[in-house]
């Protein structure tokens, strides 16, 4: 549950994060002071030092020829497949295995809940234009041989010569051209223009293809999200298998055949047919060419989804064995509630999705029976639950109270974060504000702990000082308009832990004379109520405590520069419309919004970090949003037969894609 929550922050992450190389280089499991020095140091072999400026692969191919899986070798012998040397690019991606060279064979079984989770094969599979190294700090060329970034706005990619789609067709800039010209700039497919992920500051890039293996994207201003979009869990693509997609494109396909296909498939027009067959992201059409280590073999929905080895996969290990080691990737669908139970009987080889902190005891308890190990990876939650006063609430009395800094501080001081940590996380979390987690470079204890200590006396003093001294019969304070001071907290109902945390909050707030009411709904209702101001207070999580050290990321979640549902919608609108609409925010908030804009246009580096820290300082001082507990570890189940999976690591979505950062293609089974 926990891991897939509140990913909106992630959206902000991808929207704002940049290539902060220095950032999280020695991220450390947060709550474990006794742990080994750093995670990064624990895996010295995995990240061969790569020059950042001119990233090039360590020269490949120590051997004259490459080796391949026995099953493929047989196909080659039978003449059904070209030899491995021809299938691999001239300069394949060399993976340094986590523990050592593996053996071929075996199936990797994982559990998924809804059928749409087949796309996880792509998330885990890893093939991106650029990707993160195993410490999640350094960007590597992945499908490309090298890349260049100039002034944070000009990006050049040099492809690997001889890299092939899973059907054996070579990958060239023609595939990119098809995407850019025939899709992104085709008015029928993209009536609203270039897809928004490629837009930066409202402007589309200039795309320049100089030869079959070189492409250049240039924006007029700094683009801080482009590389993250390419490398993140989503792994955006600016290419499509042109040779495959052309059969569905009106410009290339035979008119009669296309019409027939549209009609047979029950589609409205050719665009719909084209869209339905463009399954790069979902990985659920068997014929669709891809670059993933395993390719699909099924039509959904199924109970069991089998992905088989891609004979043209472009990565090899340090001894020249073509990856992946495992023959198949298998997803078994099951009810989400049964996933922890099925793990205890050993039904999953590796499982992280749908397991949460509260499952750890059960998982540890059954390790012997299921023949697995429960590893605890550091989570990325700066705070699992943010309390969001709605400054644009229709309830004007409450909105005015929120504007008083003393009130916000009292709300923060009235939370017993240590108790929340003990009750909900057995003390494994980090009670703090919305800040980086301890041990992360750039961590600032003063900011993380600003007004974070439980101090009901001081909270009461502040509230009294504000003049909220009148009490009702039950002992709750009265608002200036004479009604009971109650906080109606809206919850999107996605994280079950919130119910418990709010229960704790209810009793400590009672101690400062504030009544808590709790309202459940769903994501859509929650958002609508938050942005319209119907809700006076909301709850949401906040990721990015670990890897995304970039303060701007954190800031963007706190100080919106556009409409939002984080409690400052009208302030965001005010900024976006330059004051013609919305409500003017207080000076400190306005300052922060300007800093966010400034940060977006500053290439990564000390100057960008300086702006980041200014934003963080405002956040710490003004407490516009209130953090609770973050950093609780997340369980991952690993069968005892599985090899090359790190003992310690990160359980995070946006950058790590659950397990993508460990490169499942180099996992193997004893």
Partner 1 sequence: MSEETNVSASPAQPNAAMIPLPSAGEEEGMTKAEKSVYLASQWTLIIRRFRKHKLAVWSLGVVVLLYLMAIFCEFLAPYDLSRRFNQYIYQQPQTIRFVRDGRITWPFVYGFKAEVDRATFRRIYTVDTSKVYPIKLFVKGDPYEMWGLWPMDRHLWGVEGEDATAFLLGTDRLGRDSLSRIIHGSRISLSVGLIGLAISFVLGLTIGGASGYIGGVLDEGIQRLIEVLRSFPSLPLWMALAAAMPPRWPPLQVYFGITVVLSLIGWTGLARAVRGKLLALREEDYVMAARISGAGATHIIARHLLPGFMSYIIVSLTLSIPGMILGETSLSFLGLGLRAPVTSWGVLLAEAQNASIVALYPWLLIPGIPVVITVLAFNFMGDGLRDAADPYGR
Partner 2 sequence: MASYIARRLIIMIPTVLIISFISFGIIVLPPGDYLESLVASLEAQGERADQDYIAFLRRSYGLDQPFIVQYWRWFSNMFRGDFGYSFEFRREVSDLIGERMLLTVVISITTILLTTAIAWPIALFSATHKYSFFDYVATFFGFIGVSTPSFLIALVFMFLMGRYFGVSAGGLFSPQYMDAAWSWARVKDLLAHLWVPLFILATGSTAGSIRTIRANMLDELGKPYVITARAKGLTELKVILKYPFRVALNPFFSSVGWMLPGIISGSTILSTVLSLPTAGPLLLRALQTQDMYLAGSFIFLQTILTVIGTLLSDLALAWSDPRVRYGKAGS
- Asked if residue 104 lies in contact with residue 327, where contact means CB atoms within 8 angstroms, the answer is yes
Residue 259 contact, options partner 1, partner 2, none, Cβ 5-8 Å cut-off depending on partner type: none
Nearest CB to partner 1, comparing residues 71 and 338: 338
> Binder to partner 2 among 70, 193, 427, 480 (CB under 8 A)?
193
Nearest CB to partner 1, comparing residues 277 and 495: 495
> Binder to partner 2 among 251, 260, 364, 523 (CB under 8 A)?
523
Residue 358 contact, options partner 1, partner 2, none, Cβ 5-8 Å cut-off depending on partner type: partner 1
- Asked if residue 403 lies in contact with residue 586, where contact means CB atoms within 8 angstroms, the answer is yes
Structure tokens at 287: 């014929």
> Binder to partner 2 among 201, 301, 480, 579 (CB under 8 A)?
301
Integer Cα distance of 570 and 577 in angstroms: 10
Q: Report angle CA 160, 165, 169 to the nearest 5 degrees.
A: 95
Number of H helices, E strands in the chain: 24, 24
For the chain, the helix, strand and coil percentages under 3-state DSSP, each to the nearest 5: 35, 20, 50
Structure tokens at 540: 């949401």
Nearest CB to partner 2, comparing residues 214 and 306: 306
Choices 9-17, 94-102, 139-147, 422-430 (CB under 8 A): range interacting with partner 2 = 9-17
Q: How many residues bind partner 2 (CB under 8 A)?
A: 60
| Of 640, 662, 667, the residue nearest 103 (C-alpha) | 667
- Beta-carbon contacts of 35 under 8 Å, excluding residues fewer than 6 positions away, are 28, 29, 648
Binders of partner 1 among 429-458, rule CB under 8 A? none
Does residue 26 touch partner 1 according to CB under 8 A?
Answer: no
Classify burial at 436, counting beta carbons within 10 Å of its beta carbon; exposed 0-12, middle 13-18, buried 19 or more.
Answer: buried
- Asked if residue 25 lies in contact with residue 136, where contact means CB atoms within 8 angstroms, the answer is no
Integer Cα distance of 387 and 532 in angstroms: 17
Integer Cα distance of 214 and 208 in angstroms: 8
Binding mask 515-544 for partner 1 (x = CB under 8 A): ---xxxxx--x---x---------------
Does residue 52 touch partner 2 according to CB under 8 A?
Answer: no
User: Tokens 């589309």 identify what position?
Assistant: 204
Helix H or strand E segment including 529: helix 523-532
Does residue 107 touch partner 1 according to CB under 8 A?
Answer: no
Choices 4-12, 56-64, 381-389, 422-430 (CB under 8 A): range interacting with partner 1 = 422-430
- Beta-carbon contacts of 384 under 8 Å, excluding residues fewer than 6 positions away, are 2, 429, 495, 497, 501, 541, 628, 629, 630, 632
Does residue 7 touch partner 2 according to CB under 8 A?
Answer: yes
Integer Cα distance of 599 and 610 in angstroms: 9
Does residue 419 touch partner 1 according to CB under 8 A?
Answer: yes
Nearest CB to partner 1, comparing residues 158 and 518: 518
> Binder to partner 1 among 287, 503, 562, 584 (CB under 8 A)?
503
Does residue 272 touch partner 2 according to CB under 8 A?
Answer: yes
- Give 376-435 as a DSSP string: EEEE--SEEEEEEE-TT-S-HHHHHHHHSHHHHHHHHHT--HHHHHHHHHTT-SEE-SSS
Choices 380-388, 402-410, 448-456, 514-522 (CB under 8 A): range interacting with partner 1 = 514-522
Helix H or strand E segment including 356: none
Helix, coil or strand: residue 661? helix
Binders of partner 1 among 473-502, rule CB under 8 A? 493, 499-500, 502
Nearest CB to partner 1, comparing residues 493 and 603: 493
Residue 427 contact, options partner 1, partner 2, none, Cβ 5-8 Å cut-off depending on partner type: partner 1
Q: Which residues of 521-556 are buried (b: 16+ CB within 10 A; e: fewer)?
A: eeeebbbebbbebebbbbbbbbbbbbbbbbbbbbbb
Helices (H), 182-240: 226-231
Nearest CB to partner 1, comparing residues 206 and 361: 361
Residue 300 contact, options partner 1, partner 2, none, Cβ 5-8 Å cut-off depending on partner type: partner 2
Number of C-beta neighbours around residue 285 at 10 A: 19
Binding mask 336-365 for partner 2 (x = CB under 8 A): -xx--xx-xxxx------------------
Choices 135-143, 359-367, 393-401, 446-454 (CB under 8 A): range interacting with partner 1 = 359-367
Alpha-carbon distance values, 501 to 55, 378, 401, 497 (Å): 46, 21, 23, 6
Does residue 594 touch partner 1 according to CB under 8 A?
Answer: no
Choices 186-194, 237-245, 498-506, 577-585 (CB under 8 A): range interacting with partner 2 = 186-194
Number of C-beta neighbours around residue 584 at 10 A: 12
Choices 18-26, 287-295, 432-440, 522-530 (CB under 8 A): range interacting with partner 2 = 522-530
Integer Cα distance of 506 and 529 in angstroms: 22
Does residue 422 touch partner 1 according to CB under 8 A?
Answer: yes
Structure tokens at 375: 């590893």
Residue 114 contact, options partner 2, partner 1, none, Cβ 5-8 Å cut-off depending on partner type: partner 2
Q: State the nearest-atom distance from the C-beta of 277 to partner 2, in Å.
A: 9
Residue 192 contact, options partner 2, partner 1, none, Cβ 5-8 Å cut-off depending on partner type: partner 2
Nearest CB to partner 1, comparing residues 243 and 519: 519
> Binder to partner 2 among 58, 300, 480, 579 (CB under 8 A)?
300
Nearest CB to partner 2, comparing residues 408 and 527: 527
- Give 468-500 as a DSSP string: ---B-TTS-BB-TTSSB-EEEEEE-S--THHHH
> Binder to partner 1 among 338, 371, 394, 480 (CB under 8 A)?
338
User: In this structure, are strands 486-491 and 515-520 parallel, antiparallel, or unpaired?
Assistant: parallel
Residue 500 contact, options partner 2, partner 1, none, Cβ 5-8 Å cut-off depending on partner type: partner 1
**Contacting residues toward partner 2, per CB under 8 A:** 4-5, 7-8, 10-11, 14, 109, 114-116, 189-193, 195-197, 233-234, 265-269, 271-272, 275-276, 284, 298-304, 306, 330, 332-335, 337-338, 341-342, 344-347, 366, 369, 494, 522-524, 653-654
**Contacting residues toward partner 1, per CB under 8 A:** 337-338, 340-341, 344, 358-362, 364-366, 419, 422-423, 426-428, 493, 499-500, 502-504, 506-507, 518-522, 525, 529
């Amino acid at each position: 549950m926990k891991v897939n929550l509140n990913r909106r922050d992630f959206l902000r992450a991808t929207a704002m994060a940049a290539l902060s190389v220095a950032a999280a280089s020695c991220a450390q499991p947060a709550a474990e002071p006794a742990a080994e020095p750093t995670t990064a140091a624990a895996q010295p072999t995995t990240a061969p030092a790569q020059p950042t400026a001119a990233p090039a692969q360590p020269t490949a191919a120590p051997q004259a020829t490459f080796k391949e899986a026995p099953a493929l070798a047989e196909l080659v012998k039978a003449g059904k497949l070209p030899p491995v040397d021809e299938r691999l690019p001239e300069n394949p991606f060399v993976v340094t295995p986590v523990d050592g060279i593996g053996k071929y064979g075996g199936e990797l079984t994982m559990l998924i809940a809804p059928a749409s989770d087949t796309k996880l094969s792509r998330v885990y599979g890893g093939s991106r234009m650029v990707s993160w190294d195993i410490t999640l700090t350094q960007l590597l060329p992945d499908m490309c041989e090298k890349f260049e970034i100039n002034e944070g706005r000009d990006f050049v990619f040099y492809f690997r010569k001889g890299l092939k789609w899973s059907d054996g067709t070579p990958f060239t800039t023609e595939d990119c051209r098809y995407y850019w010209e025939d899709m992104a700039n085709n008015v029928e497919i993209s009536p609203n223009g270039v897809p928004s992920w490629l837009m930066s500051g409202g402007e589309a890039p200039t795309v320049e293809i100089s030869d079959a293996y070189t492409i250049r994207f240039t924006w007029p201003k700094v683009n801080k999200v482009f590389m993250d979009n390419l490398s993140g869990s989503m792994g955006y693509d600016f290419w499509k298998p042109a040779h495959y997609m052309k059969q569905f494109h009106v410009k290339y396909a035979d008119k009669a055949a296309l019409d027939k296909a549209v009609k047979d498939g029950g589609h409205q027009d050719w665009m719909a047919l084209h869209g339905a067959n463009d399954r790069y992201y979902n990985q659920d059409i068997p014929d669709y060419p891809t670059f993933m280590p395993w390719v699909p073999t099924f039509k959904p929905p199924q109970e069991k989804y089998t992905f088989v080895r891609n004979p043209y996969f472009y990565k090899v290990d340090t001894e020249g064995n073509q990856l992946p080691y495992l023959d198949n990737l298998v997803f078994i669908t099951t009810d989400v509630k049964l996933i922890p139970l099925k793990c205890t009987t050993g039904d999953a080889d590796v499982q992280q999705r749908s397991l949460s902190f509260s499952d750890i005891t059960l998982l540890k308890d059954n390790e012997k029976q299921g023949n697995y190990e429960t590893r605890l990876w550091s989570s990325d939650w700066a705070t699992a639950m943010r309390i969001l006063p709605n400054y644009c609430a229709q309830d004007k009395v409450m909105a005015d109270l929120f504007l008083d800094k003393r009130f916000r501080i009292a709300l923060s001081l009235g939370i017993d974060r240590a108790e929340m940590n003990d009750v909900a996380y057995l003390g494994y979390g980090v009670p703090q504000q919305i800040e980086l987690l301890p041990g992360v470079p750039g961590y600032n204890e003063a900011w993380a702990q600003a007004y974070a200590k439980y101090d009901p006396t001081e909270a009461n003093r502040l509230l009294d000082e504000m003049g909220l001294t009148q009490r009702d019969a039950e002992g709750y304070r009265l608002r200036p308009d004479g009604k009971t001071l109650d906080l109606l907290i809206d919850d999107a109902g996605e994280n079950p832990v919130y119910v418990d945390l709010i229960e704790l909050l209810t009793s400590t707030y009672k101690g400062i004379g504030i009544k808590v009411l709790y309202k459940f709904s769903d994501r859509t209702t929650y958002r609508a109520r938050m942005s319209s101001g119907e809700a006076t207070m909301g709850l949401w999580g906040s990721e990015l405590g670990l890897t995304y050290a970039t303060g701007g990321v954190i800031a963007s979640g706190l100080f919106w520069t556009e409409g939002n549902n984080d409690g400052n919608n009208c302030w965001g609108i005010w900024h976006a419309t330059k004051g013609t609409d919305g409500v003017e925010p207080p000076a400190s908030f306005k300052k922060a919004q300007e800093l966010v804009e400034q940060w977006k246009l500053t290439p990564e580096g000390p100057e960008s970090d300086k702006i980041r820290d200014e934003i963080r300082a405002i956040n710490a001082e003004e407490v516009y949003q209130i953090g609770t507990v973050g950093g609780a570890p997340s369980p991952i189940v690993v069968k005892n037969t599985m090899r090359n999976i790190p003992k310690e690591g990160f359980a995070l979505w946006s950058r790590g894609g659950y397990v993508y950062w460990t490169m499942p293609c180099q996992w193997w089974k004893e």
